[in-house]
Amino acid sequence: MKPVLIVMTSHGDKAGHGPTGFYLSEVTHPLEEFLAADLPVAFASIAGGEPPVDGLELEDKVNATFWADPLFRAAIRSTQKLSDVNPSDYSAIFFAGGHGAVWDFPVSKAVNDVTRAIWERGGVVGAVCHGPAALANVTLSDGTPLVKGRKVAAFTDDEERAVGLQDVVPFLLSSRLAELGADMQPGADWTDTTAVDGRLVSGQNPQSAASTGRRLAEAVKAAEAGNARD
């Protein structure tokens, strides 16, 4: 089984409104699900090296377990640069959230190139919370946005307003994906909400991180068995 590539933002500042980065539970909770499903994993970030972390909530038992694990910490300190990875090495790509993602995922050529290559080889694409900002960048070889006509869950405009960052982020994520033709699947604010459309798996918020990881693992197994649809 080829690994799932977990991708994190390298952007650490909310346009002068405080630090940000990847949201820890949006890596650790899906990671726990991948490992429980016996899926190998690898880590990448936009710039490579150690990405900035947000949501360092160690009262969360899953966060605390991984944060205390020297192997996990070493892996996070030395992520691959996304533009350096070989897409054919991976069964799936998974974009973790954190507000930083809305700044660097949508403008990264590597996000488009690597995601397109994995998808068009029959692999799985996943993202959670602000991670679907990556999907605002991804077009297929014919120029069609990957999300067009597909069910997608992502951090909602209402949730962005609830955290007071609607005028700070470069765009409202759910609105942008809808403009690209995504069939948005919003749940109530802060509820566990996922969307699965064949090999595309997405989740709305931090509360959705574990279920998004679990459903992505299921999609990878289906794709490996030849039972997944586009």
160 tagged catalytic: yes
Beta strands in the chain (DSSP E): 4-8, 22-23, 41-45, 53-54, 80-81, 92-95, 124-128, 151-152, 183-184, 194-197, 200-203
29 tagged catalytic: no
Measured on CA atoms in the order 160, 136, 85, 34, is the torsion positive or negative?
positive
Pick the catalytic residue from 17, 129, 218, 224: 129
Pick the catalytic residue from 130, 159, 179, 218: 130
Pick the catalytic residue from 32, 33, 159, 160: 160
179 tagged catalytic: no
Beta strands in 138-220 (DSSP E): 151-152, 183-184, 194-197, 200-203
Distance of CA 4 to the CA centre of its chain: 11
* Residues taking part in catalysis: 129-130, 160
